[in-house]
Structure 1
Amino acid sequence: MLPPLSADEPAFEGQVPFDDRGLAYGDGVFETVLLRAGKPVLWDYHMARLRQGCQRLGINVPCPASLEATWQGAPTATLEVLKIILTRGTGGRGYAQPDTVVPRLLSRRTPFQPSAERWRSGVTVRLCDLRLSRQPRLAGIKHLNRLENVLARQEWNDAGIAEGLLVDSDDVVVEATSMNVFWQQAGEVFTPLTDQCGVAGTLSAALVDQGAVKQATLRLSQLPAVEQCWVANSVQGMWPVNTLLAADGSVLKRWPACEGDSLQRLAHQLLGYAPESY
């Protein structure tokens, strides 16, 4: 295990210099955390994923006090989103890591309001043309190079489409552009494995730990046959999918409304979204 930074080592930086390796190469990790009344939701899950990302990339993990300082202080709103970015730090020219490098920790808090209408009415999603590449050494972690997701999100500009579903080079369903995917089959709920590519979601991990969700493989050809589908993350909550579109806009599948289903209720309970809020 990589050692944490010492408590007195300067981990915070207000600006990113030109030779920061996160800026130049995507050499780092990030977390996006829901703050409720100034307190982080699913913090332990976010920190576990951040530590795993640091270990994979060989970046020292900031000390707990430095990470906790990113959310401490008076809240600006009842709900906020905290974004934490950790880069390897200043690295000079070339890909080789310098002998001495100090990780750079940045954070920002912004007010947030979820889309309760999408909780109630569900959403339309489309299949993306882009295929995720498989790279097990990066699979599951939330590293800074999100170009595949950026390109996938450029595929549509219709405000009526809430998300895009991504499959990998083997036509296995992996995730949405910024959310995880869940589906029901034979009365059980599943979410994709992220051992080859994709981001392992914190809400997904919590639902698996609750015994409400299992991990499994879903191929693209099997998707229209599933009984129900959702997309979710630890900030937006869980959106039922009511319509699945092909990349050309044709309808591949419609699912019945499932407002207030047990999976959504549990997910929102974990995030603190009470039923009366929507």
Structure 2
Amino acid sequence: MSHSIPVATTWVNGQLADHLPVTDRGLAYGDGLFETLRASQGRLPLLELHLKRLQRGCDVLRIPFRRQLIEEELGSAANAIGDGVVKLTLTRGSGQRGYAMPADAQPTRVIAVFPLPEYPADRRDGVQLYCCATRLSDQPLLAGIKHLNRLEQVLARSEWQDPAFAEGLVCDQQGRVVEGTMSNLFARVAGEWVTPDLSRCGVQGVMRDYLLARMLERGQRFTVGALTLDALHQADQVFCCNSLIGVWPVIRLGDRAWQVGSETRLLQSLAEQVYL
């Protein structure tokens, strides 16, 4: 279902608008958070997981979280687009020059809707990863949340232009695997799934959370912990995931090639069922 709305429509604090004041701290300092949600038939199937992550981010940054209002506005945006992407940006609002948090700041809510990205259909059957030289910095205070400071991801994504690479692999300062530039990573090592620990850096994706919950329900073995590049190369199945792409099996990283296994296909199917 796709509704007749402009290619990109934005609301600022509930009103149709396409601009912010230059004093907004989201622009000045990246002082805020964002969520990118997939709408399906006017619904937001993973809304609860997105709101939980947003709540965690607001707690960390000490930004007031008006859950009911945000939920209502996201729901209206999803209904407006039908099938598409709904992006929420929540900033601390406007303030004077300087890092100090304004005592009277009023958070700014920006909601935008977009068509679904048109990824090549064959990515469902496997993608190639680019091994990025950009390393993520350790910052436990900000780890896991989806704050507006994404310059590391911007730099990592700038490392390749070849469309043969669908995604880039990013490591931490110690060379441990963390995630993709826009996705989380799972590797099947010695009969169980491993996904990197994100307590020092990286984004705790909602599709990652959803799949971990499904694994737990099904009694599947998994570990959330350190994943070295050597361990990744020893894995027999690898995939990346996020709330827009679902699950993309990984079939190549450098000289290492993988087959798409049945366990990956099962999780891919579970991810796809979310939006039916």
Alignment match of 1:241 (pick from 245, 250, 258):
250
Q: Does the 8 Å CA contact 2:43/2:82 hold for their aligned counterparts?
A: no
Residue 52 of structure 2 is aligned to residue 85 of structure 1? no
What secondary structure sits across from 2:56 in the alignment? helix
- TM normalised by structure 1 equals 0.87
Alignment match of 1:157 (pick from 153, 157, 161):
161
| Structure 1 Cα separation of the partners of residues 248 and 151 of structure 2 | 24
| Structure 1 Cα separation of the partners of residues 261 and 82 of structure 2 | 28
- The more displaced of 208-217 and 95-104 is 208-217
Q: Which residue of 1 aligns with 2:225?
A: 216
Alignment match of 1:53 (pick from 51, 57, 60):
57
RMSD: 1.9
Alignment match of 2:258 (pick from 255, 259, 275):
255
Deviation by residue 1:209-242 (Cα, 9 ceiling, x = unmatched): 2215541210123221111110110111100001
Q: Does the 8 Å CA contact 1:174/1:192 hold for their aligned counterparts?
A: yes
Alignment match of 2:73 (pick from 69, 74, 82):
69
| Structure 2 Cα separation of the partners of residues 263 and 184 of structure 1 | 12
| Structure 2 Cα separation of the partners of residues 73 and 81 of structure 1 | 9
What number of residue pairs does the alignment pair up?
Answer: 257
Letter in 1 for 2:257: R
Q: Where do residues 77-156 of structure 1 align in structure 2 (5 Å cutoff)?
A: 78-113=82-117, 115=119, 117-156=121-160
- TM normalised by structure 2 equals 0.87
| Structure 2 Cα separation of the partners of residues 201 and 135 of structure 1 | 17
Check 1:22–1:154 CA distance in 2 against 1; reply closer, same or farther (3 A cut).
same
Q: Does the 8 Å CA contact 2:126/2:248 hold for their aligned counterparts?
A: yes
Alignment match of 2:24 (pick from 16, 20, 25):
20
| Structure 2 Cα separation of the partners of residues 146 and 109 of structure 1 | 20
Q: Which residue of 2 aligns with 1:4?
A: none
| Structure 2 Cα separation of the partners of residues 240 and 53 of structure 1 | 29
Q: Does the 8 Å CA contact 2:77/2:111 hold for their aligned counterparts?
A: no
Check 1:74–1:23 CA distance in 2 against 1; reply closer, same or farther (3 A cut).
closer
Displacement of 1:63 = 3.4
Give 5+ residue unaligned stretches, structure 2: 1-11
Deviation by residue 1:71-112 (Cα, 9 ceiling, x = unmatched): 316745552100000000001101111221000000011121
Q: Does the 8 Å CA contact 1:11/1:102 hold for their aligned counterparts?
A: no
| Structure 2 Cα separation of the partners of residues 73 and 185 of structure 1 | 41
Displacement of 1:263 = 1.9
| Structure 2 Cα separation of the partners of residues 55 and 182 of structure 1 | 28
Q: Does the 8 Å CA contact 2:43/2:75 hold for their aligned counterparts?
A: yes
| Structure 1 Cα separation of the partners of residues 239 and 71 of structure 2 | 31
Check 1:47–1:189 CA distance in 2 against 1; reply closer, same or farther (3 A cut).
same
| Structure 1 Cα separation of the partners of residues 232 and 38 of structure 2 | 30
| Structure 2 Cα separation of the partners of residues 153 and 21 of structure 1 | 25
Letter in 2 for 1:176: G
Check 1:68–1:222 CA distance in 2 against 1; reply closer, same or farther (3 A cut).
same
Quote the sequence identity (%).
Answer: 40
